[in-house]
Amino acid sequence: MIIRRPDDIPSSEITSEAHYLARREFIARAAGLGAAFVGATLLGACGTRDGAAAAARGGPDSAGATPLDDKPNSFEDVTSYNNYYEFGTDKADPKANSGSLRTRPWTVEVAGLVKSPGRVAIDDFLKPHRLEDRIYRHRCVEAWSMVIPWRGIPLRDVITRLEPLPSAKFVQFTTLLDPRQMPGQQRNVLDWPYTDALRLDEAMHPLAFLATGLYGKSLPNQNGAPLRLVVPWKYGFKGVKAIVKIAFLDRQPATTWNVAAPNEYGFYANVNPDVDHPRWTQSRERRIGEFRRRETLMFNGYASQVASLYQGMDLRRNF
């Protein structure tokens, strides 16, 4: 029997959106075709190249979650309920107002402590990398969550290719600044352009991801097209959208929400049910599409994969 690696499975064989949403029924219908076929199909839906595959599928983790515990939200949920203040502060605004964004041509500036700084056309930037499909939990600081099937590339692969200098300790991401295309930037809701950052060891973790699509489709404008950051163990505001600049730094940079409200939004933004937002609890969350609230998992359920990054740190102080 030939068992192909996830890397060898073409996108045409990746589980469809309908099967993502009803995969228990899909398994039952496919049972007669043999366990090997079912296993290959499901692995292809969120195939990865390394030991992070189980985590990328949504588990298992230290909280006992398994891949089948997390049913992905629908394409409609994922694309119509968003935080993206560049297009408005209401959850429906990004879908309604982001049609003005042009995602080609698009360049990404590579700056700071890196071997070869400069500007790169996005297609050239992405060309050396193989796209992967991963299902990740997405947790918002406003106590709602989704499960999203992303498509993109591991951030560590990009960083390795860019060759940051030994003195680089942080990597900062910046969103496009263009009020004509992003009408929300015409209001002083935040200090534009939007920026956020990771410690370099966080950015090199196999779960960290640069998304270019979801549900096997190109990334919609309202979800951060053409390139956005996904860090599944952190609150969603760390996920910089419409990235135009990646800078490597030797000191921790300021970040948009930490500057706007430092007592509410810390630099680390790790999902932590024991640290409440000043205006609401973070111990429970509302999964979009569900009636009952569920317990919030430490590190959003990825504790067994990422807790070692913060060993010895006071996670209440470094929130």
Burial class, 16, CB count within 10 angstroms (exposed 0-12 / middle 13-18 / buried 19+): exposed
The domain defined by 61-310 folds into: Sulfite Oxidase; Chain A, domain 2 (3.90.420)
Return the structure tokens found at 59.
């588990």
From residue 92, alpha-carbon distances to 31, 39, 194, 292, 300 in Å are 40, 37, 20, 22, 25
Q: pTM here?
A: 0.82
Please list the alpha-helical segments (H only) found in 83-240.
Answer: 93-97, 122-126, 155-162, 200-203
Kindly report the CA angle at 148 between 145 and 151, in degrees rounded to 5?
Answer: 150
Q: CATH 3.90.420.10 residue ranges in the chain? A: 61-310
- For the chain, 319 residues long, give each residue's pLDDT as a single digit of tens: 443 433 333 444 444 465 555 544 444 444 443 433 333 322 222 333 333 444 444 443 433 333 436 899 999 999 999 999 999 999 999 999 999 999 999 999 999 999 999 999 999 999 999 999 999 999 999 999 999 999 999 999 999 999 999 999 999 999 999 999 999 999 999 999 999 999 999 999 999 999 999 999 999 999 999 999 999 999 999 999 999 999 999 999 999 999 999 999 999 999 999 999 999 999 999 999 999 999 999 999 999 999 999 999 999 999 9
User: For the segment 242-296, what is each residue's pLDDT rounded down to a tens digit?
Assistant: 999 999 999 999 999 999 999 999 999 999 999 999 999 999 999 999 999 999 9
Kindly report the CA angle at 270 between 269 and 272, in degrees rounded to 5?
Answer: 115
How many Å separate Cα 49 from the centre of its chain?
A: 18
User: For the segment 187-218, what is each residue's pLDDT rounded down to a tens digit?
Assistant: 999 999 999 999 999 999 999 999 999 999 99
Residue from 244, 252, 135 nearest 203 by CA: 252
DSSP 282: S
